[in-house]
Amino acid sequence: MTEQPFLSVTGLTKHFKPAAFSRGPVVRAIEDVSFEVPRGKVVGLVGESGSGKTTIGRSVLRLVEPTAGTVLVDGVDMTKLSARELRQQRSRMQYIFQDPFASLSPRMTIGQILMEGLEIQGVEPRETRVARAKAALAAVELPADAFDRYAHEFSGGQRQRIGIARALALEPELIVADEPVSALDVSIQAQIINLLRDLQLRLGLTMLFISHDLAVVEYICDTVIVLYLGRIMEIAPAETLYANPRHPYTRALLSAIPEPIPGRTSQRQVLVGDIPSPANPPSGCVFRTRCPLAIEACAGAVPGLETVGTEHRSACIRNAEIAAGAIS
């Protein structure tokens, strides 16, 4: 591959310091996270709550200031930009939120909501803004009369369509979608994923798709990254991750997802204990306190992401034994 990735994250680290004069501990939200998203591809960030997904997503747009590391968007280092340059660069990206209810103003019509960003970007004249807003509504398959109505008149799924339309109207190249279907009912989740997939392919969008649910990302993602306590455990093409998961955490996560399959007496492996606090993560492999395969050496050094297959990497010191099928 010769083309440079559209998004390139290297050594990204974020430690949240306690507010001035308060005692609290430093929260190690993300540690040394590196990955790439080729132009026009979708990469999924998956992990349980507190694993650092939102912090990574927000760091990409520099909505949080990283403690260390770089974020290159189309070759431009986001962490080095002046305020003006940052505004310019950010106009190429959009963030879609989980909660379609909280993110839409109740006092504005859908048309006003869709045109607000265009006005801030200085899109003139008004007719152009109206046309782009209406095109965005059509793209998310909402009726044209939605333009003059208010958010409360729409269902959860429709509001998420409005959230997507608002992002699309700005013609972004990169979209960070942060749990965009987590608040929706299952039949509506599939509608929204189909829509996002369709738009992404049609418009050639580059996307970072965040979800706590491994089952939801398979269809839309080209590559999936599994996070635990702020670190990447495994990264693989979607089809590989589900067919041949390597990391003990990925395997546990897949096994924990209940499926409505008749007669399936769950041979599931239930992880013991709680997720440790990111203020005080375990030494060595952060997963070792719950890992069914942990050995003494796991408490030593942090395991590196090793290549275990084609574009497939896993951070476990027992990779070789797992690959040989000696342990599972």
> Which residues are at the interface with ligand ADP (CB under 6 A)?
16, 27, 29, 47, 49-55, 278
Least spacing, CB of residue 275 vs other proteins, in Å: 7
Nearer to other proteins, 11 or 219 (CB): 219
Residue 273 CA to residue 283 CA, distance in Å, equals 17
Contact flags string 143-172 toward Mg ion, x per CB under 5 A: ------------------------------
Contact between 47 and 53 (Cβ < 8 Å):
yes
51 touches Mg ion (CB under 5 A): no
CA-wise closest residue to 277 among 32, 55, 26, 31? 26
Closest distance of CB 222 from ligand SF4, Å:
25
CB 309 within 8 A of CB 236: yes
Q: Which of 32, 48, 74, 306 binds other proteins (CB under 8 A)?
A: 48
By the rule CB under 5 A, 54 interacts with Mg ion: yes
Shorter beta-carbon distance to ligand ADP: residue 55 or 160 = 55
Structure-block tokens of residue 254: 């897949």
Residue 246 identity: R
Residues 6+ apart with CB under 8 A from 99: 183
Question: What burial letters (b/e) apply to 34-72, b meaning 16+ CB within 10 Å?
Answer: ebbbbeebbbbbbbeebbbbbbbbbbbbbebebbebebb
Is 102 an interacting residue with respect to other proteins (CB under 8 A)? no
Helices 126-139 + 110-120 axis angle, to 10: 120
**Contact between 212 and other proteins per CB under 8 A:** yes
Binding residues (CB under 8 A) for other proteins: these are 48-49, 155-158, 185-191, 193-194, 197-198, 212-216, 218-219, 238-239, 242-243, 252-254, 256-264, 266, 268, 270-272, 274-275, 290
User: Which residues of this chain interact with Mg ion, rule CB under 5 A?
Assistant: 53-54
